[in-house]
Amino acid sequence: MDWLEFENYALARGYKSICGVDEAGRGPLAGPVCAAAVILPEGLILDGVNDSKKLTEKKREQLFDVVTDSAVSYNIAYATVEEIEEFNILNATMLAMKRAVEGLDIPADFAYIDGNRTPELSIPCEYIIKGDARSMSVAAASILAKVSRDRLMLQYAEDYPQYCFEKHKGYGTKLHTEMIREHGPSPIHRMSFLKNILK
């Protein structure tokens, strides 16, 4: 598999600063959605980097430092629970991705977005379905987004220990739904995601 196929295609079209973008946290019942944008040095393949969902938590933590140390530029951004409720999860995800790209300290001139649609950016962009398993820069972004969100949920676990966020990171596990029914929702729960649980 050619991890640099997409990046090389963009380079061949004259782009010089290509970022990969991915998100983490669309599905959970609590917490923000996180997005990351990563520009890697031209031609770099990072050993072990892959779709974050295919890696163990320990491996993702190790690779987080590898990616941040290697990147030309990277940025991590969020859309809040309030924005998820106001705009819906899809639009909030696009907002987080837009913030991730626009916050790069070295601007990108092209972006590859994981998924099947693109946010409204001021630079050209294309989506790649399953991009986190096909593009090195998107895979790198998937690791930064996932690890960053997981770390944030561990902080929330200290603020709201009754929900056991350290165990499920806000996803709708049996334990989590039981805790919501027992304690009611917290300020970081997505109320629109809880309708069936709170019936």
pLDDT at 138: 98
Name the residue range of residue 128's domain. Answer: 5-151
- For the stretch 122-158, pLDDT in tens is 999 999 999 999 999 999 999 999 999 999 999 999 9
State the CATH number of the domain containing residue 123: 3.30.420.10
Average pLDDT rounded to a whole number, residues 180-193: 97
Q: Is 187 among the domain residues? A: no
DSSP state of 31: S
Q: Helix (H, G, I), strand (E, B), or coil: what is residue 35?
A: strand
pLDDT at res. 128: 98
Residue 14: pLDDT band by 50, 70, 90 thresholds? Answer: very high
- Domain presence at residue 91: yes
Q: What end-to-end distance do the CA atoms of the chain give, in Å? A: 47
Give the count of domains, the chain. Answer: 1
Distances 10 to 99, 121, 146, 149, 168 between C-alpha atoms, Å: 22, 16, 26, 29, 38
Confidence of residue 119 (pLDDT cuts 50, 70, 90): very high
Strands (E), 99-177: 110-114, 125-128
pTM of the model: 0.97
Average pLDDT score over residue span 90-95 = 98
Query: Does 121 fall in a domain?
Result: yes
**Does the residue 166 lie in any domain?**
no
31 pLDDT higher than 90: yes
Q: Residues of the chain with pLDDT > 70: what percent?
A: 100
Read off the pLDDT of residues 45-59 as tens digits, 9 standing for 90 and up: 999 998 888 999 999
∠ Cα 35 77 55 (to 5°)? 40
| Mean pLDDT (whole number) for 159-171 | 98
Inside any domain, residue 191 = no
- Dump pLDDT digits (tens) for 104-114: 999 999 999 99
The amino acid occupying position 158 is E
φ, ψ of residue 19 in degrees (nearest 5): -110, 150
In a domain? residue 190: no
pLDDT of residue 146: 98
| pLDDT value of residue 1 | 74
